[in-house]
């Protein structure tokens, strides 16, 4: 005789619904099964990466990823609260990353540049494979940013985020809003190419390394501590400043 089918009901909150088909979003999702499985396995079988989950309530009780789901269980799943302290309920990671740092997959090069422009530590290489992304994220305590849900389902990933937007500037705004970073912007303090901090330098130090006419009208220069590139605020910085001001006014995600 075949074993009887069991059923548990899941409810996903906020942006976790982005991982669900339209017909299942913001409602109860019934999961059929024959043997009990961990809540982590069931959540990912439904399509939600565990790295975006920070709180699970099973029948109203706070639970970790290892809890076995049984027939009739009702499961509420909440997203990562990077900026909100939800103790004393059971968080599914030791603590939020108070020092916000990122590592980005190979498809997010332009986003990496924008994040660095805003002053955030963003590791990126177009040659980083998935396992290396996971290693860097875990060892250096960086939030893994990706458009590939599969990477976030790796068991070692604790802090990760799947980008909803596809345009790089919209992605930057999405990150600022999602992680409540509007007050943490430090524009034009990090090299957009190699990610190293910039330091203020005098005209004498960079003479011969910038167009001669630039020295006549510009008085402030910054040099990358890593690659030696020199930065100054040219006419192109006007739109950058306007965009950054808009981001600084971004409301916190609910």
- For 228, other C-beta atoms within 10 Å of its C-beta total 12
Dist. CA 195–CA 57, nearest whole Å = 39
Position 83 scores a pLDDT of 47
Position 130 scores a pLDDT of 95
pTM metric for this prediction: 0.78
Paired with 197 in beta bridges are 190
Report in angstroms the alpha-carbon separations of 252 from 84, 173, 174, 182, 214.
Answer: 11, 11, 11, 8, 39
Position 84 scores a pLDDT of 47
Position 37 scores a pLDDT of 94
Dist. CA 154–CA 144, nearest whole Å = 11
Position 217 scores a pLDDT of 82
Question: What tens digit of pLDDT does each residue of 192-220 get?
Answer: 999 999 999 988 888 888 887 888 888 88
Tell me the backbone φ, ψ of residue 212, rounded to 5 degrees.
Answer: -55, -40
Q: Which of 105, 102, 155 is nearest to 130 (CA)?
A: 105
Backbone Cα Rg of the chain:
22
Q: Taking the mean position of all CA atoms in its chain, how far away is CA 251?
A: 17
Position 244 scores a pLDDT of 87
Q: Show the low-confidence residues of the chain (pLDDT under 50).
A: 83-86, 254
Q: Please answer whether residues 23 and 89 qualify as being in contact, where contact means their C-beta atoms are separated by less than 8 angstroms.
A: no
Q: Which of 75, 65, 81, 132 is nearest to 103 (CA)?
A: 132
């Amino acid at each position: 005789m075949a074993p009887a089918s069991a059923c548990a009901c899941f409810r996903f909150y906020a942006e976790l619904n982005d991982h669900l088909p339209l017909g299942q979003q913001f409602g109860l999702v019934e999961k059929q099964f024959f043997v009990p499985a961990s809540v982590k396995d069931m959540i990912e079988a439904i399509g939600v990466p565990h790295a975006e989950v920070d709180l699970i309530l099973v029948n109203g009780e706070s639970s970790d990823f290892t809890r076995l789901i049984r027939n009739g269980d009702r499961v509420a799943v909440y997203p990562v609260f990077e900026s909100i302290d939800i103790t004393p309920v059971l968080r599914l990671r030791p603590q939020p990353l108070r020092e916000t740092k990122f590592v980005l997959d190979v498809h997010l090069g332009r986003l990496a540049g924008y994040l660095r422009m805003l002053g955030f530590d963003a590791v990126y290489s177009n040659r980083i494979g998935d396992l290396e992304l996971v290693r860097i994220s875990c060892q250096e305590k960086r939030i893994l940013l990706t458009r590939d849900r599969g990477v976030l389902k790796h068991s070692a990933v604790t802090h990760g985020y799947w980008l909803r937007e596809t345009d790089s500037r919209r992605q930057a705004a999405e990150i600022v809003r999602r992680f409540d970073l509007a007050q943490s912007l430090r524009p034009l303090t990090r090299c957009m190419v190699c990610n190293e901090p910039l330091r203020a330098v005098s005209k004498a130090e960079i003479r011969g390394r910038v167009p001669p006419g630039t020295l006549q009208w510009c008085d402030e220069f910054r040099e990358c501590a890593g690659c030696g590139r020199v930065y100054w605020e040219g006419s192109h910085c006007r739109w950058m400043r306007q965009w950054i001001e808009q981001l600084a006014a971004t409301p916190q995600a609910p």
